[in-house]
């Protein structure tokens, strides 16, 4: 069964995405309501936590294969759980997807700083991320 996946952090960056998955996927901008994207303390990547009246913009990858979904699960690790969500794309078109939510037991690691893709890219976060977290490409 193929799965649509809402990404909100480093997986929105093509270089990171391609280092994790094997296939090519269509993607488009999407929005997720009632969640907030915050930086984790001492990290360059974000977390996603429930937050009423907040909206997170991300990238929706379409029809992810089960094998690649397993690779993404491994990439996300045990701090995150994959959950079903409803997101919006295009002209208010709703779509069911999955995303990765920070597990409750790790909420103490969340800063109050909003994570921004543009700041991540402008301030060298991508280089730091790729340097600190290499090796997700399939072997």
Q: Catalytic amino acids?
A: 76
List alpha helices for 25-124, DSSP H.
Answer: 66-76, 117-122
Largest CA distance in the chain: 42
Give yes or no for a contact between 76 and 95, defined as CB atoms under 8 angstroms apart.
no
* Gyration radius from the chain CA atoms: 14
Distance CA 20, CA 36 (A): 24
């Amino acid at each position: 069964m193929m799965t649509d996946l809402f990404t909100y952090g480093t997986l929105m960056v093509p270089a990171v995405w391609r280092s994790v998955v094997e296939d090519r996927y269509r993607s488009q901008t999407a929005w997720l309501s009632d969640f907030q994207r915050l930086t984790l303390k001492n990290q360059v990547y974000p977390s996603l936590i429930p937050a009423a009246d907040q909206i997170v913009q991300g990238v929706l990858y379409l029809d992810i294969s089960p094998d690649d979904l397993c690779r993404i699960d491994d990439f996300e690790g045990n701090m995150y759980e994959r959950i079903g969500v409803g997101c919006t794309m295009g002209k208010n078109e709703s779509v069911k997807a999955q995303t990765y939510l920070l597990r409750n037991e790790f909420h103490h690691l969340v800063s109050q700083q909003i994570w921004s893709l543009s700041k991540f890219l402008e301030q060298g976060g991508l280089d730091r991320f790729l340097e600190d977290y290499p090796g997700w490409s399939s072997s």
